[in-house]
Amino acid sequence: MASSLDSFLHDPTDPNALSVEERMKFEKWVAKILDKPAKISSMIEDALHEGMHSEWEAESANHKFRLGSYYPSMIERCLRQQAYSYTAPIPPSKEDLAIFGEGRAIHELIAIALRRSGLISVEGREVVVDLEFADGEAKLHGRIDDLLLIRITDEDSQDFKLFIPLEIKSIGTLPEEPKQAHYYQLSTYLLAKNFPIGVLLYWAKRGGGVKAFSIPKDDVMQIVLRERVFELHEALKQNLLPQKEASFNRDFVQCERCAYSERCNPFLIDSLPKGSKIAVFDVDSTMLDPLPRRRAAMQELGLSPSMRASDIHDKELRDKFWDLYNSPKYAELDLLIEQGKNDAYKQVESGRAIIGISSSRHDSMIEATKARLANLEVPLTHLIVRESGNYDTDITFKTKWALRLETNYEVAEYFDRDALASSEVLKSVQRHRQKKSTDPQGASS
Ligand code: SF4
Domain parsing of the chain, residue ranges = 4-61, 69-262, 267-290+334-444
- Quote the ligand 1 centre to 271 CA distance (angstroms): 18
Which residues sit opposite 211 in a β-bridge?
202
> Distance (Å, rounded) from C-alpha 234 to C-alpha 384?
31
- Quote the ligand 1 centre to 387 CA distance (angstroms): 16
Residue 391 has pLDDT above 50, yes or no: yes
**Confidence at residue 11, expressed as pLDDT on a 0 to 100 scale:** 59
Tens of pLDDT, residues 155-167: 888 888 899 999 9
H/E segment holding residue 288 = strand 288-289
Interior/surface letters 217-246, b for 16+ CB within 10 angstroms, e for the rest: beeebbeebbebbeebbebbeeeebbebbb
Contact (CB, 8 A) for 72 and 185: yes
Confidence of residue 443 (pLDDT cuts 50, 70, 90): low
What average pLDDT does range 353-357 have in this prediction? 98
Q: Best mutation site among 245, 262, 268 for ligand 1, i.e. most ligand atoms within 8 A of its Cβ?
A: 245
Report how far Cα 251 is from the mean position of its chain's Cα atoms.
Answer: 8
**Confidence at residue 8, expressed as pLDDT on a 0 to 100 scale:** 52
Phi, psi of 220 (to 5 degrees): -65, -30
Closest CA to 385 of 213, 203, 250, 193: 250
What CATH number labels 69-262?
3.90.320.10
> Distance (Å, rounded) from C-alpha 273 to C-alpha 262?
17
Any ligand 1 atom below 6 A from CB of 255 = yes
Residue 6 has pLDDT above 60, yes or no: no
> Distance (Å, rounded) from C-alpha 162 to C-alpha 151?
6
> Distance (Å, rounded) from C-alpha 118 to C-alpha 108?
16
Confidence of residue 342 (pLDDT cuts 50, 70, 90): very high
Closest residue by Cα to atom 7, ligand 1, is: 255
- Quote the ligand 1 centre to 248 CA distance (angstroms): 9
Residues ≥6 apart with Cβ < 8 Å to 274 = 268, 408, 409
> Distance (Å, rounded) from C-alpha 110 to C-alpha 383?
48
> Distance (Å, rounded) from C-alpha 168 to C-alpha 369?
44
Phi, psi of 92 (to 5 degrees): -70, 150
- Quote the ligand 1 centre to 229 CA distance (angstroms): 17
H/E segment holding residue 211 = strand 210-216
Tens of pLDDT, residues 175-222: 999 999 999 999 999 999 999 999 999 999 877 799 999 999 999 999
H/E segment holding residue 382 = strand 382-386
Percent residues over pLDDT 70 in the chain:
95
Confidence of residue 445 (pLDDT cuts 50, 70, 90): very low
> Distance (Å, rounded) from C-alpha 348 to C-alpha 115?
70
Closest residue by Cα to atom 2, ligand 1, is: 255
**Confidence at residue 142, expressed as pLDDT on a 0 to 100 scale:** 95
Residue 62 has pLDDT above 80, yes or no: no
Confidence of residue 41 (pLDDT cuts 50, 70, 90): confident
> Distance (Å, rounded) from C-alpha 47 to C-alpha 42?
8
Residue 71 CB: number of other CB atoms within 10 A? 18
Helix axes 394-406, 419-438, angle to 10 degrees: 30
Looking at domain 267-290+334-444, its CATH class is alpha beta
Contact (CB, 8 A) for 265 and 328: no
> Distance (Å, rounded) from C-alpha 265 to C-alpha 247?
9
Residue 324 has pLDDT above 70, yes or no: yes
Rg for the chain, CA atoms, rounded: 29
> Distance (Å, rounded) from C-alpha 140 to C-alpha 76?
12
> Distance (Å, rounded) from C-alpha 286 to C-alpha 350?
19
| Max Cα distance, the chain (Å) | 98
